[in-house]
Amino acid sequence: MTAVLPQPRPALETERAATPRRYLMCRPEHFDVSYAINPWMDVTRGADRELAIRQWETLRQTYLDLGHQVEVITPVPGLPDMVFAANGGLVIEGRALGARFTHAERRAEGPAYLAWLADAGLKEVFAPVHVNEGEGDFLVVGDLVLAGTGFRTDPGAHTEVQELFGIPVISLRLVDPRFYHLDTALAVLDERTVAYYPAAFSPGSRGVLQRLFPDAVLADEADAVVLGLNAVSDGKHVVLPYAATGLAAQLEERGYVPVGVDLSELLKAGGSVKCCTLEIRA
């Protein structure tokens, strides 16, 4: 029997083209490292909230300078990780699925983000059934959704997303606890191209990525451990942690324009550029 798989997506040869995006962000006004739910978080080290806010403002300004629209959600006291807006939901073609968090510490973020989405002028907003951490584990690549599991998002949510949006969902298993969300191990560069760190995935999932994206940018461990793959691309400009210099050079070779930002304070909670950014797709 011949396996039926989506066709490989060779990288575009043409000039990189940026398209304006609509992003949701959350100012880290209540940011802290007061619990540890991933290996990056060390409660004894704490966090400098003022510095986190300054670094976050730089990211916001970077998006505005690139011509993107940035909206903000009101931060809720007692939710130090709410700055990681990517986890707040998944929005495709003006339809949104809310998030349902794995850990009790973040659970109240689900309804807070859902309320924002319900008020954002979208066509439809759905409350989640299965545990899913939004765009932390769901990444849209053209007409596919890549979906992570292994640490946070339940595979049941992968089916939920496929049924809800009618878009093929490709399940990928994460195996390294440092890369606990898909968006820490894989970056979407444009509608056909991704960058990823192969060792973060199970052998089978690595095989799937090779078949689907034979021309992917492969990141090494040095770039992965500074969360270099936690990047946001508009098709041309790739905003990424400044410390991911090897990855930035590879992107430049492929015709992208890397834009490095310093989010070192947010890295103490295990997050960076993409984690701070939820795309609201019309």
Indicate if 275 belongs to the active site.
yes
Please state the closest distance from residue 271 (CB atom) to ligand ARG, in A.
4
Q: Which of 26, 158, 275, 276 is catalytic?
A: 275
Please state the closest distance from residue 192 (CB atom) to ligand ARG, in A.
23
Please state the closest distance from residue 240 (CB atom) to ligand ARG, in A.
14
**CB-nearer residue toward ligand ARG: 16 or 185:** 185
A 10 A CB-CB count for 244 gives: 30
Q: Are 239 and 273 in contact (CB under 8 A)?
A: yes
**CB-nearer residue toward ligand ARG: 89 or 271:** 271
From CA 57, how far away is CA 209, in angstroms rounded? Answer: 34
Given the DSSP bridges, would you call strands 89-92 and 95-98 parallel, antiparallel or unpaired?
antiparallel
**Buried (b) or exposed (e) across 131-158, using 16+ Cβ within 10 A?**
bbbbbbbbbbbeebbbbbbbbbbbbebb
From CA 273, how far away is CA 267, in angstroms rounded? Answer: 9
**CB-nearer residue toward ligand ARG: 28 or 258:** 28
* Helix ranges (DSSP H) in 119-220: 155-165, 203-212
The footprint of ligand ARG (CB under 6 A) covers 37-38, 41, 81, 84, 86-87, 106, 136, 181, 183-184, 269-271, 275
Q: Which of 158, 181, 237, 276 is catalytic?
A: 181
Indicate if 26 belongs to the active site.
no
Given the DSSP bridges, would you call strands 95-98 and 124-126 parallel, antiparallel or unpaired?
parallel
**CB-nearer residue toward ligand ARG: 81 or 265:** 81
Nearest Cα residue to 240 out of 179, 200, 187, 197: 187
Please state the closest distance from residue 37 (CB atom) to ligand ARG, in A.
5
A 10 A CB-CB count for 17 gives: 10
CB neighbour list of residue 263: distance below 8 Å, 6 or more residues apart: 55, 56, 59, 241, 271, 272, 273, 276
**CB-nearer residue toward ligand ARG: 87 or 205:** 87
**CB-nearer residue toward ligand ARG: 138 or 165:** 138
From CA 230, how far away is CA 276, in angstroms rounded? Answer: 9
Please state the closest distance from residue 47 (CB atom) to ligand ARG, in A.
11
From CA 267, how far away is CA 40, in angstroms rounded? Answer: 7
Please state the closest distance from residue 38 (CB atom) to ligand ARG, in A.
4
Catalytic residues: 181, 275
